[in-house]
Amino acid sequence: MDGWQRPNPHLDRALELVSEDFAGLHTDLSTAGADVFLASGQPRKALRWLHSRIVVPAKPSFNEDLLVDFAHAAAETARAARDAEDANAEAQALATLDELLARWPTEPFTSERPDVVDTAMAKALYRAEVARCRGEAGQIQLWRRAIDRCHAAGALWPEATSRLRCAEAMLATGSRTSTVSELLRQAHATAVELGAQPLRNEVESLARMARITLREPAAIADTPRVQGALASLTAREREILTFLVAGRTNHEIATALVISTKTVSVHVTNILRKTGTSTRVEAAALADRLATSRDN
C-alpha cells in the first residue's frame, strides 16, 4: 500500500500478492483496506483509499458494490470533522462524495444485479449513509428502512449497525423514547453474539451518554437468602423485579410481558411494599445484592 503507511501487515501482504488488475478480489481487498483505516480511527484515509479503488462504470448498475462502503467512509469522515469543528474537513468529505456520485452514470442501486448480494439492502444502507454524511433530515426513517432490509437479508452486522445509527439519529432529535433503548439493546446483543468489539464499544458508549442500561433481565438466583427475602413475592412479581434490576421502565416491561402499563405499576407497588423498599431503584438494588452475595 504505497503511500498509505502500511496500516495492517496482513492486508499489505495480500495487496503485494494480488495483482491490481485481478477483479476477483478487488472488492474484498478494497473493503478490507477501508475497514482497517476505519478501525484505526482514520476515516479520512478510508475515504481516500476507497476513492482511489472505485472505477466509475461506463454502463449503469456496474461497480456499485463499493458505494455503500464509500458512503459510510464519507459519513464517518464528515462526523469526525463536525466533532472537531473542522468546517474545511467536513466540506472536503462532502465534496469527495458528491464528486464521485456526480460522475456515476445513473442513480445507484436502481436495478437488481446478481453480483450485489441484496440490492434492496445495499440501496437502503447507501441512502442512509449519504444522508448521514450530508446531515440531511429524515435519517430516522432511512435507518429504519435499512434495519428492515438488513433483517430481511439475514445480515446481522449491518442490521446491528443500522440500529445504532437509528438510535443516534433519534437522540440527535431529542428523542428519549423506549424505542431508542430497544434499538441499542438489540444492537448490543448482536455485537456480543458476533464478537464485534468495536461495534459493542460504540453502542456502550452511546448508551452511557444517553443513560440507557443495556443489562438484560435475568432470573434471580434461588438461594436460601433470596428465598427468605423475596418469599412473599408472586412468580409474576419476581419476574417484574428482574426487569427492575435491568433498569427497564414500566412501559418497556409492559411491552415485553404483553400486559398493560397499569398492571405493571400495580405489581411494582406490591414489590415495594413486600420488600420494604421505597423506590424501584431501591428494590432493584436489594435484589441485586441478594443475588450477588456470597454469604448464602
Residue 139 near residue 100 (C-beta atoms within 8 A): no
pLDDT, residue 110, reads 81
pLDDT, residue 1, reads 47
For the chain, give the longest Cα–Cα distance. Answer: 75
Q: What is the pTM of this model?
A: 0.77
Residue 2 region, left (φ>0) first, then alpha (ψ -120 to 50), else beta?
beta
Vertex 145, ends 54 and 205: CA angle to 5°? 80
For residue 3, the Cα-to-chain-centroid distance in whole angstroms is 32
Instruction: Give the span between the Cα atoms of 277 and 271, in whole angstroms.
Output: 8
Instruction: Give the span between the Cα atoms of 217 and 243, in whole angstroms.
Output: 5
Residues 6+ apart with CB under 8 A from 91: none
pLDDT, residue 9, reads 72
Instruction: Give the span between the Cα atoms of 171 and 104, in whole angstroms.
Output: 33
pLDDT, residue 155, reads 95
pLDDT, residue 112, reads 65
Residue type present at position 5: Q
> Regarding the domain delimited by 224-292, which CATH topology (the fold level of the hierarchy) does it fall under?
Arc Repressor Mutant, subunit A (1.10.10)
pLDDT, residue 20, reads 64
Residue 107 near residue 146 (C-beta atoms within 8 A): no
Residue 48 near residue 37 (C-beta atoms within 8 A): no
Domain boundaries, the chain: 9-210, 224-292
DSSP H stretches of helix in the chain: 9-17, 26-39, 43-53, 67-83, 87-103, 119-134, 139-153, 156-172, 178-194, 197-210, 224-229, 235-245, 250-257, 261-275, 280-292
H or E segment at 61?
Answer: none
* Residue carrying C-alpha cell 432490509: 149
pLDDT, residue 115, reads 54
**What is the pLDDT tens value at each position of the chain, 296 positions in all?**
444 455 567 676 766 676 666 666 778 888 888 988 898 889 999 999 999 989 887 766 667 889 999 999 999 999 999 988 999 999 999 999 999 999 998 888 887 665 556 889 999 999 999 999 999 999 999 999 999 999 999 999 999 999 999 999 999 988 877 889 999 999 999 999 999 999 999 999 999 988 888 888 877 766 666 666 788 889 899 999 999 988 888 988 998 899 999 999 999 999 999 988 889 888 888 888 877 654 44
CATH number for the domain formed by residue range(s) 9-210: 1.25.40
Residues 6+ apart with CB under 8 A from 219: 242
pLDDT, residue 3, reads 44
Instruction: Give the span between the Cα atoms of 166 and 188, in whole angstroms.
Output: 13
pLDDT, residue 262, reads 95
pLDDT, residue 217, reads 82
pLDDT, residue 106, reads 85
* Residue carrying C-alpha cell 450485489: 116
